[in-house]
Structures are given as structure tokens and as C-alpha cells.
Amino acid sequence: MCCSNNLTEKDLLPGKQDTSYLERIKGMRFFDPHIHMTSRTTDDYQAMADAGIVAIIEPAFWLGQPRTGVDTFRDYYSSLVGWERFRSSQFGIKHYCTIGLNSREANNEALAEQVMEILPLFIYKEGVVGVGEIGFDDQTPAEDKYYRLQLELAKEASMPVQIHTPHRDKKKGTSRSMDIALEHNLDPYTVIVDHNNEETVKEVLDRGFWAAFTIYPFTKMGNERMVEIVKQYGTERIMINSAADWGISDPLAVPKTAALMKDHGFSDEDIRMVTYQNAITAFAQSGQINVDDFTVAQGIDQSEKFEGNTILRGGQQPRVDKNSMIIK
Ligand SMILES: [Zn+2]
């Protein structure tokens, strides 16, 4: 099966893009289970909604520079369950998050201790679907310690775990992350191992964990490689995400990969599994996902407020869906 519109990695670059792929996935719904919207714009939200993204998960992560105090963690977690969730709703996208201490900042042990104390205040909040993203960066003893403590926290709360696997020494770091999860008696079916590649996928699936793949320009995984992986391993326990953040990344990576899969002759059902359903099945184990919240048409009223603030600035006209016959 061939077509001149095949997407390539260069289509994942930001800037001017061919949007004809949207036609080929029209009517499909997508769930991006890893995206850092705090770092993105309202244009991104609009483009995501237009491309069929109906729900997302925003994992708590590293902000690009080290935080200096526990209060900034507290405010960040509050925004993930508060303002960002509201902002997303203003574009008709259901926002969930995972809460955790990221691996890099586990290395500041004095601060990590304080963060561990506030985590239980957030993980039980509405819309929190797991403990994440946690795991290894440099695979230091401190990272090991806080990873284990957070696995225990997840177990106690009966929450799924979202594991960030390291960029360096990935294969070893991924195996080790799974070894430790099993050592702490976590059911692999409740653990989503993220940022997989061709080297790690087989072991992750063989051991019964969920395998998430990040489509990220230039690093991690291009979406042509992703298509080959689904051809080889099928769709069971595999999910695709964008992990779009403050770096060069693409919040439309999931719908673009869906279009590429379609070009390669995958059925709509196969595409649905890896770009929508599997992520829902995995994270719904938190008891926090109600698909009616994003499958039943919800009205959007951008004049709504969150603690007195709207996403509008002076003079901007809100978008209000007119479901009603009554014109006031
Ligand atoms: Zn991330």
C-alpha cells in the first residue's frame, strides 16, 4: 500500500505543515497519555482538538531547571489538578494527570524528602490517574530510593504507575525499573513503562507490562519506526504518546501516527487500540476515568471561569457552543 502523502519524520517538525493527513483520520478519537500541556499554548490545544484528541494525561515532570523549594512542587501539582485541567476543558479536551517526584529531582535528597511528604495530598485528587512519571534518569542510588518509595505509595493507593525510562543506558534501566516494580509486588498490568524503543519492547511485553512509545522528533522514536513495531508486535498493551513539552516536540504526534498507520493499511480498530483504547484501559484502573466525559459531546463555554480567571484576555470573544435553540 502506497501513497504520496505518507508522513515522514520531517512532518513532525514544528512550523509549516501539510495538514491533509487530517482528512484521513476524520471522525477518529485520540487519547494522548503523556503530554506536558503546562508548557504548551492555546494554539496547541485548538489544533489537538481539531485533530480529534479528546483526552490527555499530563504527567508531573522536570521543568527544565531545578526547583529550589517544596512550594514550587506544591504549586505545580495544584496547577495540574486545577488551572491546567480547566484550560484544557476550554478546548473540549478532558485532562487527567499523574503525580510524582521525577527522577532527576530525586537526586536533591533534602528536597525529595519534603516532596514525598506532600505527594499523598495530591494523588487522591479528582483526575489523578496514577503515580508518575517516576523511575530512573542517571540510575543513581537516590533515584532508586525515591522510585521504590513511590512504588509503595502507588501500591497503597491502588494506582497505576507511569515509568519514565532513562535516555542513557536505556535497556538496562528499563529492565531494572521492571525488576524493582516486581520486587515491590506490583502487578505488571498496573505499570505503564514509557519511552520504549526496538531494544526494550519485547522484554516489556513478555513480562506483562504496558509498553508506551513516545513519538518525538529527532530523539526517542520516529513514527515510521513506530509503525514497524506495531507490525511486528501487534496492538496488545501498546500505546502511543507525544510527550510534547518545552522542547522541540509535537502535540499532534498521536493523530499523525494514526494517519501513517492508515497509510500502511492498518485497520481502524488496530489504530484505535494503540492511539486511544489501550491507554484508557491501563489508566482507568485508577477508577478516575469515565469515558462518557469525553465521548458524549460536551459544550464548551470559554466565558467560564476558574477561581475568577478565564483563558480570555481583554476584548477577546469567547467560543460558546450553541446547543440551545434559545437565543438570548
Ligand atoms: Zn514526560
Ligand 1 centre distance from Cα of residue 269 (Å):
27
pLDDT above 90 covers a percentage of the chain that reads 81
Report the chain's mean pLDDT, rounded to a whole number. Answer: 91
208 pLDDT higher than 90: yes
Residue 95 confidence (pLDDT) above 90: yes
Query: pLDDT tens across 234-258, in order?
Result: 999 999 999 999 999 999 999 999 9
| Ligand 1 centroid distance, CA of 195 (Å) | 9
The pLDDT value given to residue 3: 42
Tell me the CA–centroid distance for residue 34 and ligand 1, in Å: 6
292 pLDDT band, cuts 50/70/90, is very high
Query: What pLDDT is recorded for position 4?
Result: 41
Band the pLDDT of 318: cuts 50, 70, 90. confident
Q: What is the pTM for the complete model shown?
A: 0.91
Handedness of CA 216, 218, 219, 225 (dihedral sign): positive
Q: Which residues contact 203 (CB under 8 A, 6 or more apart)?
A: 174, 175, 178
The total of other beta-carbon atoms located within 10 Å of residue 74's CB is 15
Mean pLDDT calculated for residue range 285-305: 89
pLDDT at 268 over 70: yes
Cell numbers placing 49:
482538538
Q: Give pLDDT, residue 299.
A: 80
Distance of CA 179 from the midpoint of ligand 1 (Å): 22
pLDDT band of 14, cuts 50, 70, 90? low
| Ligand 1 midpoint to CA 58 (Å) | 8
pLDDT at 220: 63
What average pLDDT does range 264-273 have in this prediction? 97
pLDDT for the residue 7:
55
Cα 320 to ligand 1 centre (Å): 32
Average pLDDT over residues 269-284: 98
Give the pLDDT confidence score for residue 300 in this predicted structure. Answer: 84
Q: What is the pLDDT of residue 301?
A: 86
**What are the grid coordinates assigned to 284, written together?**
482507568
Average pLDDT of the segment spanning 93-113: 98
Listed range (36-40, 118-122, 217-221, 284-288) with the worst mean pLDDT = 217-221
Please, which pLDDT band fits residue 328 given cuts at 50, 70 and 90?
very low
Q: Which residues have C-beta under 5 Å from ligand 1, the single-atom ion?
A: 61, 243
How many angstroms separate the alpha carbon of residue 236 from the centre of ligand 1?
A: 22
Return the pLDDT at 35: 98
The CATH number of domain 27-295, selected from 3.40.190.10, 3.20.20.140, 3.40.50.150, 3.30.930.10 = 3.20.20.140
HSE-CB of 83 using CA atoms within 13 angstroms? 13
